[in-house]
Amino acid sequence: MVTPRRFTLTQYLIEQRRRFPGASGDFNALLLDLALACKAIARSVAFGELGGVLGNPAAEVSTAVNVQGEQQKKLDVISNDYFTQMTEWGGQLAGMASEEMDEPYQIPATLQRGKYLLVFDPLDGSSNIDVNVTVGSIFSVLRAPQEVIDSGRDVVEADFLQPGCQQLAAGYALYGPTTMLILTVGNGVAGFTLDPNLGQFMLTHPDIRVPEDTQEFAINASNARFWEAPVKRYVDECLAGKTGPRGKDFNMRWIASMVAEAHRILMRGGIFMYPRDTKDLAKPGRLRLLYEANPVGFIMEQAGARVSTGREPLLNVQPTALHQRIGLIFGSKNEVERIERYHAEPAKAVDTHHPLFGERSLFREEVAL
Ligand SMILES: O=P(O)(O)OC[C@H]1O[C@](O)(COP(=O)(O)O)[C@@H](O)[C@@H]1O
Ligand SMILES: [Mg+2]
Ligand SMILES: [Mg+2]
């Protein structure tokens, strides 16, 4: 019996590169360095740095607070260091930006600078670390402006402010029961599983497609009182199940690791919402556009899913700041389109007699919309 051929990540990238006969190999080299960073982070997440980080809540918190005002976990900082250290030396990058760094990261002048920009969330869902729930890393590769490439100058915030449709590659690693790497280079989505014996990401999910329909949604329901009317309406209808306007029951999930929710949706469909809300008017959403929403959005679209702010396709949004937040809705196409339709329709008064919004309701509606 012949064992079926299994491709490594390297072999997959060589195959993809055949589409671009003039390619220098820089792009693939960068993606392999990123994969190496993810392997190193997987090890740190699994075992704890020097065995001392996990299972010891005091050790998990660093003293620093990031630009988002969030307390950094030690593993946030360690993961950020892996990303910068594994990718800065190869000569492919003009600069980087990360959730954990206030300003763009400069490739040291002693090293060669290249033509790509890297943006990343080194550890997504890090509030889950101390309870041993799946976390991940998210990254996006953009082309640096030509003038940056030609001059080799330091990068500035404006260089990174490119809409998601201009991404060249996006991926995430998932540190779950197995470590996986999900990648798009603009030609569909492929999933790789880390073989711990070989230390290699092996191609296990060659062409991931998200089903167009679903009966599963994910949203943080504790924010219900801050949601806008179209989102309230959608969730209301899902919860009403068979007896409601949708005529079918829905299931709900919330992990609080966007990367883990994205993975579930890639594997079996579903819809994820962290919509714009009124919780904090200075923050028009929870998730960060450049290094959370856009890369996951690119992956989703390449897998046939739909990605939106509710009001417009997410990948068309012109960023205005490095750490900008955005309302994000993605997943099974027909459900996302439905929510977009709800946003486009004139505002409807919420039915306060509905069990969800009534006096003794699950989500009490206090503001007439
Ligand atoms: O606590 P909440 O509101 O459920 O937030 C969960 C969201 O926050 C995030 O964890 C933010 O990511 P970070 O851990 O990188 O800050 C998302 O992955 C997730 O969807
Ligand atoms: Mg995150
Ligand atoms: Mg993070």
Q: What is the pTM of this model?
A: 0.90
Q: Is the CB of 76 under 6 A from ligand 1?
A: no
Question: H helices of 1-65, where?
Answer: 9-17, 26-47, 57-60
CA of 21 to the centre of ligand 3 (A): 36
- pLDDT of the chain along its 369 residues, tens only? 666 678 999 999 999 999 998 889 999 999 999 999 999 999 999 986 544 444 444 445 555 777 766 766 789 999 999 999 999 999 999 999 999 999 999 999 899 999 999 999 999 998 898 899 999 999 999 999 999 999 999 999 999 999 999 999 999 999 999 999 999 999 999 999 999 999 999 999 999 999 999 999 999 999 999 999 999 999 999 999 999 999 999 999 999 999 999 999 999 999 999 999 999 988 889 999 999 999 999 999 999 999 999 999 999 999 999 999 999 999 999 999 999 999 999 766 444 444 454 434 444 443 333
Q: Is the CB of 258 under 6 A from ligand 1?
A: yes
CA of 331 to the centre of ligand 1 (A): 17
Separation of CA 160 from chain center: 17
Closest residue by Cα to atom 14, ligand 1, is: 125
Q: Is the CB of 330 under 6 A from ligand 1?
A: no
CA of 172 to the centre of ligand 2 (A): 11
Question: H helices of 171-275, where?
Answer: 229-240, 258-268
Nearest-atom index, ligand 1, CA of 126? 14
CA of 106 to the centre of ligand 3 (A): 20
Asked if 128 and 120 touch (Cβ cutoff 8 Å), the reply is no
Both tokens of residue 181? 């790497």
Neighbours of ion ligand 3 (CB under 5 A): 99, 121, 123-124
Ligand 1 probe mutation, 258, 328, 329, most atoms within 8 A of CB: 258
Long-range contacts of residues 59-62, Cβ cutoff 8 Å, at least 24 apart: 60/129, 60/130
ipTM over 0.90: yes
Distance CA 190, CA 318 (A): 27
CA of 127 to the centre of ligand 1 (A): 7
Asked if 211 and 269 touch (Cβ cutoff 8 Å), the reply is yes
Domains contained in the chain, CATH given? 9-205 (3.30.540.10), 216-344 (3.40.190.80)
Residue ranges with strand state E in the chain: 61-65, 71-73, 93-98, 105-106, 116-124, 135-143, 169-175, 179-184, 190-195, 200-205, 216-219, 251-253, 271-274, 287-288, 306-308, 325-326, 328-331
DSSP secondary structure letter of residue 5? P
Distance CA 351, CA 355 (A): 9
Distance CA 104, CA 93 (A): 12
